[in-house]
Structure 1
Amino acid sequence: MNGRAMNGGSTWRAWLSTDTPQSRMQARLGRAWSGWLAFRRNRLAMAGLLIVLGLVVVAALAPLLAPYHPYEQDLANRLQPPGALHWLGTDSFGRDILSRLIHGARLTLMIVALVAATAPVVGLLIGTVAGYLGGWVDAVLMRITDIFLAFPKLILALAFVAALGPGIENAVIAIAITSWPPYARIARAETLTIRRADFISAARLQGASSARIILGHIVPLCVASLIVRVTLDMAGVILTAAGLGFLGLGAQPPLPEWGAMIAAGRQNVLEQWWVAAMPGLAIFVVSLGFNLLGDGLRDVLDPKGD
């Protein structure tokens, strides 16, 4: 039985690694397999992947993993140092910091997912349209992009949140609005390099419309580089969200957002250091994980960047 399983595994690896694929699906799966093998050899990238997967698991199983309710107050045990009952200590309201960090992973993952699902899509469409059409369309769209790039992301996000009002939803909108310009620049640069390629000219001669060429031919070729940039930018998104929360413009109490938790502990940072240090450590670890994962994906998906 074990021999059959080993032979089956070897057959699948041979099928995926062949230099002469018999179908498009086999070719795509073969590229994915070779990319995974290259990615797996990068130990730092694998560490980043494990950190990100750990964040997802913790967010999904937060009610089961948290030893206490994140909003449960126990004033008799306020500002307790890390110990057997509270592994990471308690805050000024006696709430368990570990439980709040675990539930705060859900907010962090939600912010990352919403920004990743909006800003890159907007930037991809704007960049490909500008790069393919050129002329006044390119000039107008790129000048708008330059206006957004002229301001630091956090300052621009602060301005949008101040106009929209504090709250986690408005913070996500503000971060997404300020995050799309780099993706537009990348997509435009990719489009300029391939818009005069032979297969684009052939599609145009066959009567394909500009929209069909952009969506069917150019956009898929730009996705790989955007995936790398999105992964690398997630650390910045987490830091921006934490900065808004620290300033009181992001998630509002009693939500266990990591930036707001740091703000709550800043008054006692010298005596009760764990109140601010633990959420700060969580932000550092998750941001490092996304950076390591992004570096590994860049080596696999965008080797020409080396």
Structure 2
Amino acid sequence: MTLALPSEARGTVRRGISPRTALAALALALIVALALAAPLIAPFDPLDQDLLALNMPPGPAHWLGTDHMGRDVFSRLVIGARTTLIVGFGGALVAFALGAGFGLVALSFGRWAEAAMFAVIDLVRALPDVLLALLLIVALGAGAGPVVIALGIAFAPFFAYVARATFHRESVKDYVAAARLFGGGRLHVLRLHLAPNLAGGLVTQAAILLPRCVVTESVLSFLGLGSSPDAPTWGRMVADASRYIEVSPHAILAPVIAIIVLTLSLSILGEAVRRGLDPLREMRGGM
């Protein structure tokens, strides 16, 4: 049997990639390429200081100028992109694993396990994301690893809530009842039947939360609680340059623009993923 989509839905599916989405994908690809090639294209060591070249404007020697310690801004920007991307994507991945993993296992074991697990998740969610990440970093210590763990724990409840809503929606359908009727255990039904149908909502949530992970990492670095103090992250670059904004505005504009471009690109691509996984959304919204 062939499922015929209404004309509105067919138009949505055929529309393809919009110019805005293509531009966001290009910007993200460029940032990732710069991060991967950073050791090869950075003209200077990001930690080298030149006290004779403090707060220099952009020029042939220093493409984006230097900061208040004579460090090359471009070199620090491309090297810092690696840390920002690794920590941001790593935090989203840990949040995905913790929230979806523990949430779905608790849901598959019945009402009491669900109540206990989501009571803990509700306590975690009661604290603001940045505040919870700050508390966890204070407890775990500085460094990229603790920041990834802190971001993962802080954003895990979002995946758990999506998993619970989708689980309850799918678990009452006939294919789940049939799997259980033929002797499928809880984890068997979850792994083979429910998980594939839950993946779309969880992937969409991951795409939406990625920009928040990047911004939170930058905020933590700005506060001096992110990666190690000598790591040239974008948030720390903003914090260092903010005291000298009047004499070297280029040193703060470069990381600020980079953060804006990255988060905006991730947001646009996240919206595109959400639309792609739900092609009938616009039609339902217009009804």
Report if TM-score (shorter chain) is over 0.5. Answer: yes
CA separation of 1:244 and 1:39: change in aligned 2, threshold 3 A: farther
Partner in structure 1 of residue 157 of structure 2: 181
Partner of 1:149: 125
Establish whether residue 191 from structure 1 lines up as the match of residue 167 from structure 2.
yes
What is the alpha-carbon distance in structure 1 between the residues aligned to residue 150 and residue 225 of structure 2? 11
Match of residue 282 from structure 1: 258
Aligned residues: 273
SS of residue in 2 equivalent to 1:77: coil
Query: Does structure 1 conserve the Cα–Cα contact (< 8 Å) formed by 2:55 and 2:67?
Result: yes
Letter in 1 for 2:206: V
Counterpart among 216, 219, 240 of residue 264 in structure 1: 240
Structure 1 position 110, deviation (Å): 0.9
Which residue in the other structure is 2:47 paired with? 71
Partner amino acid, structure 2, of 1:288:
L
Query: Distance in 2 between the 1:39 and 1:163 partners?
Result: 49
Measured after TM superposition, the shift of residue 303 of structure 1 is 3.4
Deviation digits for residues 75-126 of structure 1, max 9, x if unmatched? 1111111122212110122111011111111111211232232211221123
Equivalent position to 1:54, from 18, 26, 30: 30
Is the 1:124–1:219 contact (alpha carbons within 8 Å) kept by the matching residues of 2? no
Q: 1:38 to 1:122 in 2, by over 3 A?
A: farther
Distance change (3 Å), C-alpha of 1:134 and 1:250: same
Question: Residues 249-293 of structure 1: CA distance to partner in whole angstroms, max 9, x if unpaired?
Answer: 112232110101111111112221122221111111100010010
Residue 166, structure 1, aligned to residue 142, structure 2: yes
Q: 1:247 is matched with which residue?
A: 223
* Alignment-derived partner of residue 119 in structure 1: 95
Opposite residue 172 of structure 1, the aligned amino acid is: V
Unaligned runs of 5+ in 1: 1-18, 21-33
Q: Once the two structures are superposed, what CA deviation does each residue of 1:11-58 show, in whole Å capped at 9, x if it has no partner?
A: xxxxxxxx79xxxxxxxxxxxxx9xx7574322222221122222211
1:189 Cα offset (Å): 0.3
Write the distance in 2 (CA, Å) between the matches of 1:104 and 1:282: 10
Q: Where does structure 1 differ by over 6 angstroms across 4 or more consecutive aligned residues?
A: none
Who is 2:285 aligned against? none
Q: TM-score with structure 1 length normalisation? A: 0.84
Q: 1:218 to 1:272 in 2, by over 3 A?
A: same
2:278 maps to what in 1?
302
The offset of 1:297, in angstroms, is 0.7
Residues 238/38 of structure 1: CA separation in 2 closer, same or farther (3 Å cut): farther
The 1-side partners of 2:41 and 2:77 are apart by 11
- Once residues 216 and 170 of structure 1 are traced to their aligned partners in structure 2, the CA distance between those partners, rounded to angstroms, is 33
Partner of 2:7: none
In structure 1, the residue matched to 2:183 is 207
1:262–1:276 Cα contact (<8 Å) kept: yes
Q: Deviations over 1:193-250 (max 9, x none)?
A: 0102111111111111101111121112111111111112111111111111111111
**Residue of structure 1 in register with 2:6 after alignment:** none
Higher mean displacement: 214-223 or 185-194: 214-223
- TM-align CA RMSD: 1.9
Q: Distance in 1 between matches of 2:163 and 2:279?
A: 17
